[in-house]
Amino acid sequence: MERTENPMGTKPVPKLLLSLAIPAIIANLVNSLYNIVDQIFIGHKIGYLGNAATNIAFPLTTICLAIGLMAGLGAAAGFNLELGRKNPEHARKIAGTAFSALLICGVVLCILIRIFLKPLMIAFGATDNILDYAMEYSAITSLGIPFLLFSTGTNPIVRGDGNAAYSMMSIVTGAILNIILDAFFMYGLDLGIAGAAWATIIGQIVSAVMLAVYFRKFRNVTFSIEDFIPKWKYIVQICKLGFASFIFQASLLVVQVTLNNLLRTYGGQSVYGSDVTIAVAGILSKINAIFVAVVIGVVQGSQPICSFNYGAKKYTRVRETVRLLLITTTVLSTIIFIVIQCFPRQIIGLFGEGNDAYFEFATMYTRGFAACMFLNGIQVSSSTFFPSIGKAGKGAIISLSKQIILLVPLLLVLSHFLGLTGIIIATPITDALAFVLAVSLLYFEMKNMPKTDMD
């Protein structure tokens, strides 16, 4: 039975955002544990070469996140926009198309990556010491790509239906299982880095199955078999609305590969060596994933509220949501910034031991990397807000400009002149410039948005 009234348009915004954001934050944090827990266990069991190997393999995960979040967030935005416009049939077909497309794309991606696995590991920056570990880990985790892609993409759709608690539990269940199996496989069965990989796959399968089952329990629509037949016009709509998320993740992939190769070159020329610098950068990417998980959780909680009310022309609720979103993400970004700046060595130490040179570089790199992190809450919020109201182009501009137009050129130019120091300072400079762009676009959008609701 389809509902005629949606709490997205009636429930008080603070309570609604809290109810959607908290489960999303928990789900994202727990989901980030897939790689973080692997990194911790591998670091203590194998050492920093194991950590470096997972860093080399991480772009494969980023590829899945890019496609999965494009489909999931694009479909969730379209789903809520159509519900707000009172078009439940279109909402069903958008969600059903995303479901099928994620399954098909996951299988194709798995096959392609397995065919070209070794060349990919080398292209991602693997050194001779790291390559074998990276190959062993990636050969196994690549089998889980269909499940990772499906769960990544389906989770925002379930949350967009208003059931943030279920979307959270599906991710939490898989992640907890991953943690338990990490310990059992790596220490109980002594499977080494392969044990961490198998634990990850099993957790991803469980999460994907739980999310697939939910499609029979949707609150706002009831699906038919025909809804799951992919339609090209809905695929185009999904990709358009989710393109900013794709750009953000795809550009992260470019940054990761560029950074690994620069560290292999300039790290090798330094007193620290390329293996140490690549390992530290890998750890920082996982720590940054925690920051992103928290901020994106709040942003994802706001997405269905903004989409539904913008579609329903309830602009006062959109403004209230954006205002609350920016305040919350700025506070969270500042707290995370303070923690990282105060305890860099302790945080890095969670991921295994190393010599004095290892921790010297890790502390320096961590503080430099996070120097402007307190600005990133607004930048991330803006890049996702625009697609949620159907203006994907502006969100794509924010995401693309930060990673590709700003960060990659800065990494290449500054490293050429300053070596490792240039690599370190490129990130905070980029964060500051991206913040200015995001604030400017958001200011003009709010200025031009109608001040009152429209029937």
Q: Which two tokens stand for residue 18?
A: 């809290």
Amino acid at 159: R
Conformational region of residue 39, where left means phi above 0, alpha means psi within -120 to 50, and beta covers everything else: alpha
Local confidence pLDDT in tens for the 455 residues of the chain = 444 566 777 777 788 888 888 877 877 777 676 667 777 777 777 777 777 787 788 888 888 888 888 888 888 888 877 777 787 778 888 888 888 888 899 999 999 989 998 898 888 888 888 888 888 888 898 898 999 888 888 888 887 777 877 888 888 888 888 888 888 988 888 888 888 889 889 988 998 999 888 888 887 777 778 878 888 888 888 888 777 778 777 777 888 888 888 988 888 888 888 888 888 887 887 777 777 778 888 887 887 788 788 877 888 888 888 888 888 889 988 998 999 899 888 888 877 777 788 888 888 888 998 899 888 888 888 877 887 777 767 777 887 788 788 889 999 999 999 988 999 999 999 999 989 998 888 888 888 888 777 75
pTM score: 0.67
The structure tokens 């992190």 sit at: 373
Closest Cα to residue 371, out of 415, 317, 435? Answer: 435
